[in-house]
Structure 1
Amino acid sequence: MWQKFSRQGLTLGVALASGLLAQNLSAQTLEEVIVTAQKRSESLQDTPISISAYSAEAIENMGLNNVRDIGLATPSLQTPSFPTSSNNLGFFIRGIGNADSGILTKDNTVGVYYDGVYSGRSTGVLSDLVDLEQVEILRGPQGTLYGRNTTAGAISFTTRKPSGELSLDQTFTIGNMGYKRSLTSLDLPAVVGVKPSVSVVLTERDGWVDNDGAGKVPGGKYNDYYLEDKKGLRIALRYDEIERLVVDYAFDYADMDTTSPYFQYSGPTGPGMSIIGGDILASYNKRLERTYDAKTAQRRAFYLPLTSTKTRGQSLTVSYDINDFLTFKSITGYRAYDDDLSQNFADAFGGASGLHVNAVTDYEQYTQEFQLSGTTERWKYVGGLYYLKEKGVSDEQHFLDRGFVETTGIVALDSNGPCISGAFGAPPPACNLLDPMFYPAYLGEFTIDSEVESYAIFGQATWTPEILEDRLDLTFGARYTEDDRTAIRSNDGLLWNAFPPGKNSSSIDQPDWSLTADYRWTDAISTYIKASTAFRSGGSSPKALDFSETFDKEKLISYEMGLKSQWLDNRVRLNAAIYQTEIKDVILDYQPDPINQPSIINVFNTGEAEILGLEMDLLVAVTDNFQLGFNYAYIDYDISDAVFPDGSDRSDTSVLVWAPEHAYSVVADYYFNLPKLGELKAHLNYSWQDDQYALANTDQGEVEVQDYGMLNGRISLDAVQMLGGEWEFAVWAKNLTDEDNANYFIGQTASTYLQPRTYGLDLRLRY
């Protein structure tokens, strides 16, 4: 495997461990980037971790309004949308992730942090990003400082803190598809030493797949697919009037009404291809912007209520400098969400016509972290205690929105809710059906009640010995975690419900460690070697036939070599890393029949996986006014001893999902000062991803998304002094070339496609 890795990866040089794709272009040299990846503020070039970092200016120039945008711009990070929701994402770094990110009993592999507060679930993560100062993507296992469920890496969002002075930052955006966005950030003068700020964001967009045609019934809900209506609020307070003490409090709330992605039927056609009601006449292999019935090849509307997600969070961070060498920090966090999810898979599965899923989830988590950190002449250190408790209840219903004749006992859905039909599907008079000839078949309901409690103690120290002229840093970190969880599944008692009652529990303890040697050859060039471990906690599959079955923890060790360098008087920044990751007791999903039983998913431990990779980011100040960036990621992997629940060894056919072999992005930024007018800025970024598997380990063959690329651009006139304020005027476009590739598959017949080209105008006032 190393030979293949060498041929395709090392020919590019060494891999880049961190990247800032857009900078302040007013300087002749590249601007220093400060990160907090090691729980302290330090230069990106002094941090022996593979990191992509985006500043506030880069976020604006690239139009990174949500986490999906960041994923599209970062080759090492894949962010596929969750199939049943537009408010959820999966996160994959270096080929490691969780495809079923919306469930409560299986944890993610990428830790998401908001100002140091861990968010255990990614539901609601697609709310608009507000008041961001920086985003850091830490690539590779972060088990020592960030703990459980960071085997792939971590994403850290750092928000802007209140200034204590009156200021206003207002942005209005309009675009095609009815897109409208307003972002208001207001800083207020300090009151009794407390500095407040308030931010409000409002976003609307029409659905771009028109859901209309035959099949509508009075009172039914037929929203267009991909619709968005989002509202967000953030309040921040800072108190720093007492010497050595800083207190930060933040409250955030988001209310999102959206509709799900549209899955088209793209499978075979012909007589007998449909299990339920009629032959399949049409297959759709190009992006559709209208809904169709695969059985009639005519326009058809599908029952589609809104998905409503409400998230809320609070954080309290207290930092106190005990002396010049020791700082105490307390980070208290609370996050919660209520999610009412609706997805209609239309005719995408052929046999399961109009499969509609409704899931209602209530979730909350509490976290507490205590830290002691400090710096002396030769030591940098941080240590602490961590606690997490999370509880969640998820209730899921499945039904068909098309008539379905069955024997005695079928359940139909009428205007008042479920009701029992008569023999052979004949509805009794008590059922007030929306349409007696065209009523939904109710397939059952199950509920998951989950609880997790986790404790950890951790520490990391960096020693700079006197030898070698203080050029060598040695870092050792360790963490010990105890993780306990319980889960109960209940159902509505229907005989044909595929998910019978059950319960399970698990208790896991795990030590993790990291060891790093970082050597500075010159003030501008350093290399490091690193070994680190992490683990993903065990759990269970809510959609397994036997809920008493659990899977154990997944353990990982990673070996990494990296380069941090700046050249030509800081006009060129090249950071690089190559790595080898070894995973034991790999957690795999197994979907035996994604066409006829797409809801049944088994999760189990098996075998080992080895991942080899290369990452490279290059940023060049070509001239005083022009910067060019290049970011590349390569992945190769092998899975061995993959024994499946049926006893078969599928090592040769097992794959990692959302792990493109090659991915890259190119970024160009141009700046020009227009005397007495303002600053002209032009930005282009192109991102490309190789073929990648969207679904793994099925009995239906390979489920693969073909390679695709996207071009985005923005041109702005900034720093225009007018009417007592500073103005910015901008035009932008995403998917400029209107690529229409598929970007998700379920089985061989269900696919979604890239969003069409979007464009718009920004107007920004800073006062």
Structure 2
Amino acid sequence: MRHPFTRHGLTLAVALASGLMTQNLAAQALEEVIVTAQKRSESLQDTPISISAFNSEAIESMGLNNVKDIGLATPSLQTPAYPTSSNNLAYFIRGIGNTDSIILTKDNTVGVYYDGVYAGRNTGVLADLSDLERIEILRGPQGTLYGRNTTAGAISFVTKKPSGEFALDQTFTAGNYGYKRSVTSVDLPTVVGVKSSVSVALSERDGWVKNGGAGKIAGGEYNDFYLEDKKGLRIALRYDQVDDLIIDYSFDYSDMDTTAPYFQYAGDTGAGLNIAGGDISASYGDRLEKTFDANTGQRRAYNLPITTTKTRGQSLTVQYDINDFLSFKSITGYRAFDDNLSQNFANAFGGASGLEIHTITEHEQYTQEFQLSGMTERWKYVGGLYYLKEEGSAAEQQFLDRALVDTTGLIAFDSNGPCVSGAFGAAPPVCNVLDPMFYPAYLGEFTVDSEVESYAIYGQATWTPDILDDRLDVTFGARYTEDDRSASRTTDALLWGTLNPGSNSSSLDQDDWKLNLNYSWTDSVSTYATVATAFRSGGSSPKALDFSETFDQETLVSYELGVKSELLDNRVRLNAAVFQTNIDDVILDYLPDPVRAPNIVSIFNSGEAEIRGLEIDLLAAISANFQVSVNYAYLDSKIKDAIFPDGSDRTKTTVLAWSPEHAYSVAVDYNLPLNDLGELKAHLDYSWQDDQYALSNTNEGEVLVDDFGTLNARISLDYVQMLGGEWQVALWAKNLTDEDSANYRIGMTAFTFMQPRTYGLDLRFRY
């Protein structure tokens, strides 16, 4: 491993030099950060939870336009891009996550919330982020207040509420690779007591891997990889004209046309890779921006239709203050998406053929939560009832995009179709007619229908006893959940014997609890200790050989010690936490034959996992105009008693995926007032992640992604008074050093790489 502090010393040197230049200037206190992690508004420093929070100013300066950007800026959060879609991410916090975040029969470990409404699936999360007031990332299990499937933590997006007065906020952006973006936010005057706002986000970017060369056939679609065309709309209404009553309604819609990531062959060459009758003769260990045939080294075009994702959501929140000690809240949510996905893996797995996947998914969910909360002199409390209903259907078709005669046991195809329709592993006969043209060969289709229904009751109370000068807070919370799910799978004739039809169902009830002690040594320094439990629901694998097989819930208990402090007259904020998480019945993926049948995946429970870690968050006001933040995360993880479905003990070769041992980020902000000319703002941030595994099972070899980092910069002139409003102009760049490391792997040969350097110009007008 290349040590980050020697490899990237330039970033730290810049920060240090800037600090020395400004060390003699008078600093000012840091601004207070308000969060709602415990279902009530309170200071970040008074909340005994490990939290990362970004306000609207940080979101703008860091260019956090989507959740992927947030993952790079938060060391404890990893967001690997989903291999078949540019509209989906997998979330991992503290080494706990779900690599298969797109499927309907396996739940995630990180709860995602939009204004308190849970989103059960990650499809569509890469829509443009706009009109945000705050992003909160809760690290560690949140099983009491947030419930099922928050074993790793939760991400909460909090939007701006209508002001009731006319205001316009317009941003235009242009950049390389044909990047264009427009974000329009309008607050409207109050009408019959109703405040309203509308925001529209439009963006597009050319694909940066050009898809061209030999192999095109009539009727094929040959779009470039990584293409983007996104549209989003959000409408918000607020009624607060009756004392103690607030009603908020919102509607959001997004339409995303994208193309998938490009997996290029970047494995070894040699006789050991005699796949599909010939050695791989060309290997590409560096990022490519054009498609190639790994066998010949020549340009090659791959059939790649557009992926279309449409999401929509509605929420209705009613809050009524019953008296000084009790408040009622109802949160009603509806979210849905339609996803038509296409991916072509080219010949990244080796051999003459590229695997194509086309998946159509429809999903909708309804949630209802009722809360009662309040506080007295010595008590703070919240309790509630929760209900979720989720339904979805996914149909997947698989193709080979080129004629393939395979002597290693896969199904063989010629221009007339499959030579044999038996199971994978059956030796095919010699095809009678070989067609040298490139064409898709149909492998088969399967459809999975899924339904989930969940009920929960929860409560949490914080007591400040009349001892120790009221410096001790004791919090206890509990939650009871009932979870029922069912699924069925149908297949066509070609997949019969490989992916058999079938159905399954499961039902569980689960108790979770939390105990927290928080002691304030002074008004600005406190320490806390927490023990908490959580669980992830069970399910089934849509690509298992036997669909009747299910896996059970995964449970964990976490122990955490933390400190929160504000030092030097609140000019330095230092928060830190150490933790240990013990997981029982770890949910793992298993590929029985990853070389010849990478599309066959079993999901099962196996053994225990232990994760130990350290997190440090430092924010310092070096001067009135200069701030530096440093965030660091350390993980040490291991799995015990990993017994796989074939009966083998793979404890020594099983790891937790996407859990880098070290990760850190550094950000520098400098603001220089220019009197009547406005304010000059400069921002620089660097994020680095250690090498990490992309696949838990290393029995067939280590599927390892090397360490990588990104340097981003933005400089702007803001608050310029002109033509009756405030103007801002900004120059920005992401991946400023044009880092070209791999950022995802499937198996030993299929790699994706980091996006090249992008840059652009923002023009913003506020009225």
What amino acid is the match of 1:527? T
How far, CA to CA, are the matches of 1:42 and 1:413 in structure 2? 66
8 Å contact 2:403–2:415 — kept in the other structure? no
How far, CA to CA, are the matches of 1:196 and 1:685 in structure 2? 35
Alignment of 1:239-254 (within 5 A): 239-254=239-254
What is the aligned partner in structure 1 of residue 514 from structure 2?
514
Does the alignment pair 1:58 with 2:58?
yes
What is the aligned partner in structure 1 of residue 102 from structure 2?
102
How far, CA to CA, are the matches of 2:415 and 2:713 in structure 1? 48
Does the alignment pair 1:84 with 2:84?
yes
Q: 1:166 to 1:724 in 2, by over 3 A?
A: same
CA positional deviation for 1:594: 2.5
How far, CA to CA, are the matches of 2:419 and 2:133 in structure 1? 53
How far, CA to CA, are the matches of 2:748 and 2:411 in structure 1? 32
How far, CA to CA, are the matches of 2:150 and 2:499 in structure 1? 30
8 Å contact 2:276–2:406 — kept in the other structure? no
Q: Equivalent residue of 1:695, what SS?
A: coil
Q: Equivalent residue of 1:652, what SS?
A: helix
Moved more, 117-126 or 260-269: 260-269
8 Å contact 1:590–1:698 — kept in the other structure? no
8 Å contact 1:169–1:766 — kept in the other structure? yes
CA positional deviation for 1:592: 3.0
CA positional deviation for 1:276: 3.2
Moved more, 707-716 or 590-599: 590-599
Does the alignment pair 1:46 with 2:43?
no
Q: Equivalent residue of 1:230, what SS?
A: strand
Alignment of 1:594-609 (within 5 A): 594-609=594-609
What is the aligned partner in structure 2 of residue 4 from structure 1?
none
Q: 1:40 to 1:340 in 2, by over 3 A?
A: same
CA positional deviation for 1:630: 0.3
What is the aligned partner in structure 1 of residue 281 from structure 2?
281
8 Å contact 1:171–1:765 — kept in the other structure? yes
Q: Equivalent residue of 1:619, what SS?
A: strand
What is the aligned partner in structure 2 of residue 373 from structure 1?
373
Instruction: Give TM-score, length-normalised by structure 2.
Output: 0.93
What amino acid is the match of 2:344? N
CA positional deviation for 1:278: 4.5
What amino acid is the match of 2:757? R
What is the aligned partner in structure 2 of residue 21 from structure 1?
none
What is the aligned partner in structure 2 of residue 8 from structure 1?
none
Q: Equivalent residue of 2:586, what SS?
A: strand
How far, CA to CA, are the matches of 2:112 and 2:226 in structure 1? 25
CA positional deviation for 1:26: 12
What is the aligned partner in structure 1 of residue 169 from structure 2?
169
Q: Equivalent residue of 2:468, what SS?
A: helix
CA positional deviation for 1:280: 2.0
Deviations, residues 706-737 of structure 1 (Å, cap 9, x unaligned): 11111000000000000001000000000010
Q: Equivalent residue of 1:570, what SS?
A: coil
What amino acid is the match of 1:466? D
How far, CA to CA, are the matches of 2:225 and 2:725 in structure 1? 40
Deviations, residues 292-313 of structure 1 (Å, cap 9, x unaligned): 0011110000000011000000
What is the aligned partner in structure 1 of residue 564 from structure 2?
564
8 Å contact 1:420–1:427 — kept in the other structure? no
Q: Equivalent residue of 1:559, what SS?
A: strand
What amino acid is the match of 1:706? D
CA positional deviation for 1:560: 0.5
How far, CA to CA, are the matches of 1:228 and 1:512 in structure 2? 42
What is the aligned partner in structure 2 of residue 505 from structure 1?
505
Deviations, residues 506-531 of structure 1 (Å, cap 9, x unaligned): 00100000000101111000000010
8 Å contact 2:618–2:629 — kept in the other structure? yes
What amino acid is the match of 1:737? T
Q: Equivalent residue of 2:191, what SS?
A: coil
8 Å contact 1:394–1:448 — kept in the other structure? yes
How far, CA to CA, are the matches of 2:465 and 2:228 in structure 1? 56
What is the aligned partner in structure 1 of residue 390 from structure 2?
390
How far, CA to CA, are the matches of 1:271 and 1:32 in structure 2? 62
Q: 1:194 to 1:352 in 2, by over 3 A?
A: farther
How far, CA to CA, are the matches of 1:459 and 1:656 in structure 2? 32
8 Å contact 1:410–1:441 — kept in the other structure? no
What is the aligned partner in structure 2 of residue 321 from structure 1?
321
Q: 1:619 to 1:406 in 2, by over 3 A?
A: closer
CA positional deviation for 1:273: 3.6
How far, CA to CA, are the matches of 2:498 and 2:676 in structure 1? 70
Q: Equivalent residue of 1:126, what SS?
A: coil
What is the aligned partner in structure 1 of residue 202 from structure 2?
202
What is the aligned partner in structure 1 of residue 238 from structure 2?
238
CA positional deviation for 1:78: 0.1
8 Å contact 1:585–1:608 — kept in the other structure? yes
8 Å contact 1:266–1:348 — kept in the other structure? yes
What is the aligned partner in structure 2 of residue 628 from structure 1?
628
8 Å contact 1:443–1:497 — kept in the other structure? no
What amino acid is the match of 1:461? A
8 Å contact 1:166–1:189 — kept in the other structure? yes
Moved more, 720-729 or 498-507: 498-507
CA positional deviation for 1:410: 7.5
8 Å contact 2:118–2:367 — kept in the other structure? yes
What is the aligned partner in structure 2 of residue 14 from structure 1?
none
Alignment of 1:510-589 (within 5 A): 510-589=510-589
Q: Equivalent residue of 1:615, what SS?
A: strand
Q: 1:410 to 1:517 in 2, by over 3 A?
A: same
Q: Equivalent residue of 2:694, what SS?
A: strand
CA positional deviation for 1:218: 2.3
How far, CA to CA, are the matches of 1:121 and 1:352 in structure 2? 35
What is the aligned partner in structure 1 of residue 664 from structure 2?
664
Does the alignment pair 1:458 with 2:467?
no
What amino acid is the match of 1:388? L
8 Å contact 2:82–2:90 — kept in the other structure? yes
CA positional deviation for 1:412: 7.9
8 Å contact 2:352–2:404 — kept in the other structure? no
How far, CA to CA, are the matches of 2:731 and 2:380 in structure 1? 46
Instruction: Give TM-score, length-normalised by structure 1.
Output: 0.93
CA positional deviation for 1:283: 0.8
Deviations, residues 470-521 of structure 1 (Å, cap 9, x unaligned): 1111000000000000010110122666211111110010000000010111
8 Å contact 1:502–1:546 — kept in the other structure? yes
How far, CA to CA, are the matches of 1:124 and 1:413 in structure 2? 37
What is the aligned partner in structure 1 of residue 261 from structure 2?
261
What amino acid is the match of 1:707? D
Q: 1:413 to 1:145 in 2, by over 3 A?
A: farther
What is the aligned partner in structure 2 of residue 158 from structure 1?
158
CA positional deviation for 1:113: 0.2
How far, CA to CA, are the matches of 2:37 and 2:336 in structure 1? 25
Deviations, residues 310-344 of structure 1 (Å, cap 9, x unaligned): 00000000000011111000000000000001000
Q: How many residues align?
A: 735
How far, CA to CA, are the matches of 2:418 and 2:501 in structure 1? 21
Q: 1:26 to 1:89 in 2, by over 3 A?
A: farther
Deviations, residues 443-469 of structure 1 (Å, cap 9, x unaligned): 111010000000000000001111111
Alignment of 1:646-665 (within 5 A): 646-665=646-665
How far, CA to CA, are the matches of 1:37 and 1:216 in structure 2? 53
How far, CA to CA, are the matches of 2:594 and 2:578 in structure 1? 36
How far, CA to CA, are the matches of 2:400 and 2:496 in structure 1? 14
8 Å contact 2:445–2:495 — kept in the other structure? no
How far, CA to CA, are the matches of 1:449 and 1:659 in structure 2? 32
What is the aligned partner in structure 2 of residue 676 from structure 1?
676
8 Å contact 2:693–2:703 — kept in the other structure? yes
What amino acid is the match of 2:728? E
What amino acid is the match of 2:505? S
How far, CA to CA, are the matches of 1:656 and 1:270 in structure 2? 30
What is the aligned partner in structure 1 of residue 30 from structure 2?
30
8 Å contact 2:27–2:623 — kept in the other structure? no
8 Å contact 1:406–1:425 — kept in the other structure? no
What is the aligned partner in structure 2 of residue 611 from structure 1?
611
How far, CA to CA, are the matches of 2:414 and 2:265 in structure 1? 25
Deviations, residues 192-219 of structure 1 (Å, cap 9, x unaligned): 1111111000000000000000001122
Unaligned runs of 5+ in 2: 1-24, 422-428
Q: 1:723 to 1:519 in 2, by over 3 A?
A: same
Q: 1:357 to 1:468 in 2, by over 3 A?
A: same
